[in-house]
Structures are given as structure tokens and as C-alpha cells.
Chains A and B, each alone.
Chain A
């Protein structure tokens, strides 16, 4: 007689287990739903990502770092680093941007191989034609495969939305030299993960890229299948309440107009990337952020225009803004200007408790 209730409880437990959402991968782990072959590609790619390149492998003679993981290192491989890159381009108002390809391109290499150092060259010089230079911090790469899988049309669909919204927000998509919609890099001048991976670890008179197509594919597999950062779920009532209040304020202050909370990936041959929703908190478009932050132009992005920073994993960063010059999230918010001026001013006008609520919410994403 007692068997029936026990069986019912057991069945109910099994049902609840089945309905429970899948466990979020930890930081640095691959996406859930990868096939066995994709998992193997991720592991193979991680090895290339961590491989230290030498001059014998084609590193240099000018370079920034000798491995991908040298910059993308914290708190796990694929994360952030304290290295700051220097970029330089030439801008001639109103719309002409020269990325100085004929002088080595916009990324200025800060190191040289021993052979070049022996000739007295310690690093690449800023090209004489450059009109501005910029500092760039290392972005974390978590979830970038899902960003890569967002269709161009989805990004472009937000352009008219901004126009209609008014309030001085008028972002636009950037485009690469070959006409594709950009999404990676602080100026959204890189369209795909594979493009970016073909770039480092060095530039010089030897042909770029210096790693083989096979190795580029491996590194791309690692970055493509690297899971987005897990969301922080507060268990104590105070933090939970504050974060909930902060989420509402984030929307109320119109931060969500540019830091779009979610975007969907398109069809993909990989189940792990196919039609997924990603909480990236960016519209992937470039917006005018005001003259105080302005540095270089890149493709169709003017010196004062920056791609809306993806806020996912913000709590794992130690420096903020595109150049790493803000030491706290609050400082970064308060230095927003241009199209973000209204939201910034409304943030500044919040009570201390509400400011803390908004910052607490940002710790969850």
C-alpha cells in the first residue's frame, strides 16, 4: 500500500530533474550541447591558443605577445589580461579613415625578437601619417562563438530602432574593409572570430597570417565553443533584492537601448550555437561616446564612436572602458558621454542606494 506514494514521489522527482535547466558551464569551459567531435576541436584549439610561438615559428620580428593566452589569461584561459595594446590610424574629417595598412596597419607592435633588438629596434613606431593613437585593453572571449553566430541582419535590424527611439541615440553598424558587418573589437571593425584569430601574434614584412589555416581553424574552434560566463545568482535576500531593483533601473535609465540584454543566434551547423539566446548586453553597433573618450577612427567608426561594450562577464574584469582607464564600473558609467549623456546624467542623479542596486545588478551578468 505504501509503494504507490513512494513511486509517485520518485516519478515526480525524476520529472523535476528532467525539467531543471541544464547546468551553466563554468568559466573557461566549453558550451553545453557540443558534439564529441566539437569537444575534441575545443581541446585541440585550446592547445594552440596556449602555444608559445617563437621566432622560429614565424613570431615577429615585431609582435605584441608570443601566445594568445599571454593576454587572454585571467581568471582562466580565454579571459582578460592587463596588457594594453596601442592602435593608431589617420582620420581626415569629415569621413576619411586610413587604417595605415601600407605602414603595418592600426595595431602597433610593442615587442621585437632578439634579432631585431640587436639591430636597435625594440618596438614598432607610430606611423608618421597617424593622426591619433589609442589604448586598448584585452577583452574576455567568453561566449564569442555565440556572438559570431548572430546574423548580420539581426545587428542591422537595430539601426532603425535607434532612429525611432530618438533621445539622441543614433548608433550604426560598422563595416569591414570587405563590406561585412563588424562586431568584434572596440570599434566593431572585425566581422568574424576567424578574422581576428588570423591576426596575432605578430606583424612584420613576412606575410600575414603567420600561422597556418589549420591552426587558425583550431584556435577559432576554441574561441567559438568557449561558453559565455555563467550568470551570478545571489542567494542572500539583500543582494537578490538589490540586483532586482538594479535590473529595473538599468531599463528605466535606458541603458538597455544600447546595452541590449539579449540577442539570438541564427541557424548553425553546430547544435550548441543553433538558434540560441545570448545575454550579451550590447547592440554591437557603434555610438558617439563624446569627445573626451575619442581616440582613433576605424573603418566607418569615427574617433568618438565605440561599439557598445558587451557587458557579459563584467564582474570578471579589473579595468573598464575600451582603454582600461576606468578603475571601477561606476567610473566607467560616469565617463559615458555623447549619445549616453542622458542615461549617465540620470545615473548620477540616483540615490546612493539606487546606484548600488544598479552596480549589484551588473555583478550578476
Chain B
């Protein structure tokens, strides 16, 4: 009986963690719209969520004033059609209205197709 309760707890905890991760991913995607990742000839400007084929959070650190994500993105431009893989660092700061993006840093960008 104890074993079943323990397993059930693990399943619920896992589901909750996955749901939190999913909502965090959706929030990140939404916050990235309008931001330029990189600069000059290697700027990816997020114009719509549709451009972000996948977004995976690799690492997250947080304190009372700063939240930093390291993410991996699979991107595709609607018009040019090129597919890119990118690593990025997204930094948030705590503002009066909540968390606000301070910097979207491009770590690497590679054309995959």
C-alpha cells in the first residue's frame, strides 16, 4: 500500500513539474516576441511564436532580483525558409510589474537546413 502511495506521489510530482516547465516555456516564447537575439548581421528578431519550433530550457538560476535561463531553440523563418539552431541566454529582472526581459543574449547560431 505504501509503495502505491509513493509511486502515485512521484507521478503527480512529475506531472506538476512537466506542467510548470511547459508553462515556463510558453511564457518564454511569449516574452521573446519583439526581441532581437544577437545583432547586426546575425540578429534573429522573434516575430511570432510560430517561428520557435522548439524551446528547451537547459538551465535556470534565480535570485530575488534576477532570473537567468539558458535555452536551446530550433527556429524557422516563415519567408526565407531557413532553419536554425540557437543557444541563448535570457536574463530577466524583477520590475514593479513583475519579471521583465533585460537581455536576450545569443550564444551560438547555426544554420541546419
Contacts and interface: CB of A to CB of B under 8 A. Distances in A.
18 contacts: A101-B111, A105-B40, A105-B42, A176-B80, A177-B44, A178-B80, A179-B47, A191-B43, A195-B36, A196-B39, A196-B43, A199-B41, A199-B42, A206-B105, A208-B38, A208-B105, A209-B106, A210-B105
3 tightest A-B CB contacts, nearest first: A207-B105, A199-B40, A199-B39
A194 interface: yes
A179 B39 contact: no
B38 A209 contact: yes
Nearest to A195: B43
A194 B36 CA distance: 8
Interface in B10-53: 35-36, 38-47, 51
Q: Chain A interface: which size bin?
A: 35 or more
B88 A207 contact: yes
A127 to B, nearest CB: 13
Contacts of A200: 39-40
Contacts of B58: none
B56 interface: no
Contacts of B80: 175-179, 299-300
Contacts, number: 118
A81 interface: no
B98 to A, nearest CB: 15
A102 B45 CA distance: 18
A248 B51 CA distance: 47
B94 to A, nearest CB: 14
Nearest to A187: B41
Interface of A: prevailing SS: loop
A158 to B, nearest CB: 17
B103 A102 contact: no
A213 B35 contact: yes
Candidate in B36, B47, B77, B89 with the most chain A CB atoms within 10 angstroms: B36
Contacts of B41: 99, 105-107, 185, 189-190, 199, 298-299
B112 to A, nearest CB: 11
B43 A101 contact: no
Interface of A: 98-99, 101-102, 105-107, 175-180, 185, 189-192, 194-200, 206-210, 212-214, 216, 298-300
A198 to B, nearest CB: 3
A208 B44 contact: no
Interface residues of B, number: 34
Given A101-B108, A101-B110, A178 B77 contact: yes
A300 B77 CA distance: 14
A136 to B, nearest CB: 11
Contact of B103 (A189, A196, A209, A299): A209
B103 A213 contact: yes
A221 B109 CA distance: 27
Contacts of B39: 195-200, 208-209
Candidate in B38, B41, B42, B109 with the most chain A CB atoms within 10 angstroms: B41
A213 B102 contact: yes
A221 B110 CA distance: 30
A248 to B, nearest CB: 38
A190 B77 contact: no
A213 B104 contact: yes
B78 A179 contact: yes
Contacts of B47: 178-180
A217 to B, nearest CB: 11
Contacts of A195: 36, 39-40, 43, 45
Contacts of A189: 41
